[in-house]
Amino acid sequence: MKLYGANAGNAKRVRIFIAEKRIELPRETLDLGTDTRSPEYLKINSLVEVPALALDDGQIITESMAISRYLELIYPDKILMRKSPIEQAQIEMWSQRIFWQLFLPIGQMVRHELPLFSNVLEQVPEFAAAQRRAMPGKWRWLDREMSDGRRFIVGNSFSFADIQGMVPLMLGDIFDLSVPGDCKNVLNWANSLRRRSSWTA
């Protein structure tokens, strides 16, 4: 197998996932905007996006969630998506909530704000600004949800839902969208994640 990635949020999720599971995979780091748009990479992913996982038989898996699910099944040590139906459902639910409420707004802001994406879509600066304004409220929503004292997104065990949350935390640091100081529950959770070795994956 070979993992194709870049300095991008979706690729970061997979890097954190494999670091948590201690999986060793050959990797190729691509440059966004050049390598990812090359004729060679177009054969791997026609959407010119990362990550992509090339299997030994030539099959390709794209999308960070799909790659993570595949790796979870073939590397069953240290389960991050849980075993019981209710645990799987809760992690899926919270992964989706974190994605839609935190990851996607930052991602949309980035795509409509950075010149790197100017030839990928029609950028709307006002939309980027609206996403930026919305983020403090998004973090406060999560803070209220975590006011029950849980250590992690789903109870007291680290899971894939926390990995979903690590990337918005990192992107928030980069793009001045960090967690507001009054979000004590989220800040405690964030501080615990920053201490994990996978934070630097």
Give the mean pLDDT of 59-80.
Answer: 96
What pLDDT is attached to residue 83?
81
Radius of gyration in angstroms for the set of CA atoms belonging to the chain, rounded to a whole number: 17
Name the percent of the chain lying above pLDDT 90: 96
What distances in angstroms separate CA 33 from CA 40, 42, 109, 114, 194, one per listed residue?
A: 13, 12, 18, 12, 29
- The CATH architecture annotation of domain 2-74 reads 3-Layer(aba) Sandwich (3.40)
- In tens, the pLDDT along 22-58 reads 999 999 999 998 999 999 999 999 999 999 999 999 9
Instruction: Tell me which of 1.20.120.530, 2.60.120.10, 1.20.1050.10, 3.50.50.60 is the CATH number of domain 85-200.
Output: 1.20.1050.10
What pLDDT is attached to residue 22?
96
Total-model pTM: 0.94
Strands (E), 56-181: 60-62
pLDDT(120) > 90: no
In 3D space, the residue among 131, 133, 142, 135 whose CA is nearest the CA of residue 183 turns out to be 142
What pLDDT is attached to residue 119?
87
What pLDDT is attached to residue 155?
87
